[in-house]
Chains A and B, each alone.
Chain A
């Protein structure tokens, strides 16, 4: 799982160590928005998230000379961020655990929607209506559904589906096993789907 720094990252690392501010600014612009999103999903508030991002960058700078390149630079930066955010969340009285999953959340779909004997749909979902309006409305429904998720699920779906990270990148940054990453993603996507269905059914 150890992804080494790419040649571009090695160059960037050399520039940072040489004190090149433009390179640092590029890095901040590249990862800043994702860092803010993750920090916010862990600590819950935008203003605390901004402090967490600042503190994480400070940690990055302090660790720069000691970074040995056993992971990619990106993974290393996001691990620092995640640790700072978790520590802060803990201090604020929020518990965020990626390693231990919350208790089983039960079936993905209300069991009463299946006929008991064979488990086929008794009350099946319907296809989405063709509508140009719908796409814009769904964005809002999905954004709101993601906000309501527990923080570990929100962080994983934000990285995977909003930011487009690979599962490997998410596992590395959050120090999650592949299995737990997938369980959290499944729970998150399942709730987002449920919100979409409820919205579309209510609109019919």
Chain B
């Protein structure tokens, strides 16, 4: 049996996005998760990463300026007439 060397915290932080994106192979994922299960520092690191992603998801959309929207609809009418 091949024993995989344990992932270090320094290595894990570089793999977080691959992990969250589902981009790790099965073997790499098992290695990642078994490190995580025993490491408070890395667990906190991922928690902060996820908190950032969640907070980004609550940022509000910028609406188009109503005047800009009206101008666009005018452009559309113009286009319709001249094609």
Select A54's contact among B17, B47, B48, B71, beta carbons within 8 Å. B71
How close is B5's CB to chain A, nearest CB, in angstroms? 10
What are some 12 contacts across the A-B interface (CB < 8 A)? A19-B80, A24-B73, A62-B79, A114-B8, A124-B41, A127-B44, A142-B55, A146-B56, A164-B57, A192-B56, A193-B52, A196-B52
Cα–Cα distance between A130 and B65 once the two chains are bound (Å)? 38
Instruction: Indicate if the CB atoms of A114 and B9 lie closer than 8 Å.
Output: yes
B20-55 with Cβ < 8 A to chain A: 21, 23, 39-45, 47-49, 51-53, 55
Chain B, Cβ-Cβ closest to A137? B55
Chain B, Cβ-Cβ closest to A142? B55
Per-residue CB proximity of B54-67 to A under 8 Å, as 1/0?
A: 01111101111100
CB contacts (< 8 Å) of A21 on chain B: these are 73, 76-77, 80
Instruction: Indicate if the CB atoms of A50 and B68 lie closer than 8 Å.
Output: yes
Instruction: Indicate if the CB atoms of B59 and A143 lie closer than 8 Å.
Output: yes
Instruction: Indicate if the CB atoms of B10 and A24 lie closer than 8 Å.
Output: no
Q: Is the interface of A mostly helix, strand, loop or mixed?
A: helix
| Contact A193 B48, CB 8 Å, known A139-B55, A162-B56 | yes
Instruction: Indicate if the CB atoms of B49 and A65 lie closer than 8 Å.
Output: no
CB contacts (< 8 Å) of B13 on chain A: these are 107-109, 190
Cα–Cα distance between A4 and B72 once the two chains are bound (Å)? 26
Chain A, Cβ-Cβ closest to B80? A19
Cα–Cα distance between A197 and B50 once the two chains are bound (Å)? 12
- A-B complex: 7 closest residue pairs judged by Cβ atoms: A124-B41, A119-B8, A119-B10, A186-B17, A161-B56, A121-B41, A33-B61
Instruction: Indicate if the CB atoms of A197 and B10 lie closer than 8 Å.
Output: no
Interface presence of B14 (CB below 8 A): yes
